[in-house]
Copies of this chain bind each other. A is one copy, B any other.
Amino acid sequence: MALKTAEQYKHSLRQMNPVAYILGEKVANVSDHPLIKPQVEAVAQTYSLAHQAETMNLLVAKSKLTGGQVNRFTQLFENIADLTAKVKMIRLCAQTTGTCFMRCTGLDAMNATAAITCEIDQKYGTNYHQRALKYIKYVQENDLAVYCGNSDVKGDRSLRPSEQPDPDMYLHIVDRTKDGIIVRGAKAHQSGSLCAHEVLVLPDRDMRQNDKDYAVAFALPNDTKGILNIYTRGPLEDRLLDGIDLGNVRFGKSCPLVIYDNVLVPWDRVFLCGEYEFAAPLLRMFANYHRHSHGGCKAGMGDILIGAAATIADYNGVAGASHIRSKITDMVRMSEVMYGCCLAASTEAERTASGVYFVNPVLANTSKLYESINLPEMIRLLIDIAGGLVATMPSEKDLDNAEVGHLVKKYLKGVADVSTEDRMRMFRLIEYLGFQSRDVVSNIMGGGSPEAHRITLLRETDLEAKKKLAKRLAGIKP
């Protein structure tokens, strides 16, 4: 059971009954809903690739916790090789799905929780670390899909959690009982929440004394009473409902708003509970891990963007033009810079007191900053290479129309040896890559805003050491 198959994953998901509202309607059997199923398929790839001969080396790891093989999406980073393998595994999954496969946030959150709980226990004599390891072992043994509940809705962003007119704008503890804590709040942009078995909730900012009820971390099954998923509406959903003109024909992404409406968390699932000074370290460690994940993911997405650009150039008959080749070269450069920085963030990782390895934050944030600039730029170049049909392609429905179908087919033909249908499919993929908002916005805002990456980058840089170098060269006495 430690390595579920894709089918076992889907089956286990169907056994759960998360509460979900989609476009105003409460929905049952949510993992088979046409708007959710594409991401279930994407997550299923993380199970499937663990069983395929040529990819299992990246997807399967040996765990010290269980002593056996586990899916790498549940593995603690026991050494540098684990971090390097993570980047490569994630690039592979992105290449395979062309979208979000969701398990990175859980992986990153479990590692951050494992590391920081060790520090909390050292200070307070709590036993969060053992709880966390027990939980992670359970996840490993059952090969669960876990996502991280991180982004609070935040209300007025100029105010701290405890200053908000409505105290629920950040998730917080509303009661402590003998069975556990009661929490209330809401988390936005919860990529894949309806495709997961479990959520691991973390605080979303630094907290001070007054905010201590907001300093809380815990894990829960996704169908726990009081957890409500509200589907969020993006572009291109009519395609999924129609089942044609899909672009990405099999995979997709969903990002519900998740509301915690007075939810009970049993004590053995609580990993932070009021120790407010650890909220920031926990968040930051998760965020730095996740920016590292993004590097692998977006290099894989980059491969898709480059492949789509090169293919449509072939289909249009312009693959040899010097400006096309130059633009593809720029796309390669942009994609590889993220991969390079994240591999280096792995090899420059350092061991924490918990034994978990922590990525180099300077290199991980450098990667993320390039992502926020370069992915949009790569999409621009892809559209430039492809041409206006990205936005002005008739539907497959028109191909089927008896009166004009043959004319549409005739006039949308590109080079001789490619069918009109294939050319239309490639344009639809490019449309998807450019206009499916969830991935595009995540390129910019995922893992925190670019400003958050910048603040981290400067904070983690040793400016004083660099000043010394410059002064020495200039002949300035210390």
Contacts and interface: CB of A to CB of B under 8 A. Distances in A.
B391 A255 contact: yes
A332 interface: yes
B370 A307 contact: no
Given A336-B363, A347-B347, A444-B380, A389 B474 contact: no
Contact of A347 (B84, B316, B416): B84
A180 interface: no
B343 A348 contact: yes
A362 interface: yes
A308 interface: yes
Contact of A233 (B245, B307, B311, B367): B245
A1 interface: no
Interface stretch (A211-219, A264-272, A283-291, A432-440): A432-440
Interface string A433-456: 011011011101110011100100
B23 A466 contact: no
A109 interface: no
By CB atoms of chain B within 10 A, which of A97, A257, A403, A466 has the most? A466
A394 B316 CA distance: 38
Interface string A385-420: 001111111110110110110011011111110000
Contact of A473 (B231, B251, B325, B413): B251
Interface in A144-200: 151, 153, 155-159, 165-166, 168-169, 186, 188-189
Interface stretch (A62-70, A350-358, A457-465): A457-465
In the complex this chain forms, how many copies of it are found?
4
Given A84-B347, A343-B348, A414-B156, A189 B466 contact: no
A186 B387 CA distance: 16
Interface residues of A, number: 152
A425 interface: yes
19 contacts: A21-B404, A155-B413, A157-B316, A186-B407, A188-B388, A189-B388, A231-B394, A232-B391, A238-B238, A248-B474, A311-B471, A332-B458, A336-B362, A339-B344, A343-B343, A388-B446, A391-B441, A391-B442, A435-B437
B384 A473 contact: no
B232 A393 contact: yes
B307 A467 contact: yes
Interface in A13-27: 21, 23-26
A374 to B, nearest CB: 11
A151 B411 CA distance: 12
A139 interface: no
Nearest to A434: B437
A422 interface: yes
A401 B157 contact: no
Interface string A290-328: 000000000000011011101100101110111101101
B415 A156 contact: yes
A431 interface: yes
A416 B159 CA distance: 11
B238 A237 contact: yes
Contacts of A234: 391-392, 431, 435
Given A323-B322, A395-B233, A468-B307, A401 B21 contact: yes
Contacts of A311: 467, 470-471
Given A390-B441, A397-B24, A404 B434 contact: no
A17 to B, nearest CB: 16
Given A389-B188, A391-B440, A24 B384 contact: no
Given A24-B397, A336-B341, A457-B333, A426 B474 contact: yes
A473 B249 contact: yes
Contact of A344 (B344, B370, B372, B449): B344
Contact of A257 (B372, B397, B411): B411
Contacts of A431: 234-235, 437
